[in-house]
Structure 1
Amino acid sequence: MKNFIRKTLVTLFNRQDRSVYSYADPKTESGSHTISIDQTAAVDKKNRRKKDNQMMMVLELLSYGPMTTIDALDKGITRPAAVIFELRKMGYKINTRMIDVVSRKGEVTRIASYILYWDGNGRFI
């Protein structure tokens, strides 16, 4: 394992305030690919924007009442549990309850139902 890591990770250095990560191609173990911090920053920005949009959609859905995993999937949120986890880290009080539903195959399965708590004055806590 150490040998694989050594072959994969060639160099990690900082040059002119731009971090560059260079690694060997793990499939062929030859050649080298370089990713600059500018490229990763653009991807991070896009992912952060998508994550923020998903959090806003989940908060909007929860403001109308309980939201299930299926409701979130219908709105394009593929990992609702991860979004709920991030919202909880931000301080939102969200309760999870497992409910039984019937699947397409006619089998009973369990899914999560999420409830956002609010203080009665229109503010979420």
Structure 2
Amino acid sequence: MSQPFQPSEPTMIGLSEKAHPLLRRLKEDGHFAEMADAYRFGIALALAHGVIPDEPTAPRATIFSVATVDPDREIATAIRTIIDTEGLPVYRWAERLAEWGVAELARRAEDGDVDVAALLEEAAALSEQGTE
């Protein structure tokens, strides 16, 4: 019995060249201690909002190794659990989600601090709506 086709996973991930400076700015402005933290949070924010983003615009900037962003594969597991990856590599989905999430975080940062507590409350409210 043959195993189902497993797409080849990238070992390096990133953002579009448009979103990469936004990620850098989130760190430089002190919203996040590390760019990887903002990247991970962007993925989680997109998942919480139920976003199904399009492919990021080219050109792309490779920023992180998968091992840096998701050493225990917890992000991959979350994405596979929540989204039908449509046969695409899960870390390509992670890039799509991060693209949306980083842009959203940058938009919110324009108004001052990124209120992580408010974002978590918002995500919880969205989750509650989804279970009703």
TM-score interval, normalised by the smaller of the two chains: under 0.3
Q: Which has the higher helix share?
A: 2
Higher relative contact order (Cα pairs below 8 Å, separated by 6+ residues): 2
Question: Which of the two has higher C-alpha Rg?
Answer: 1
TM-score by length of 2: 0.26
Q: Which has the higher strand share?
A: 1
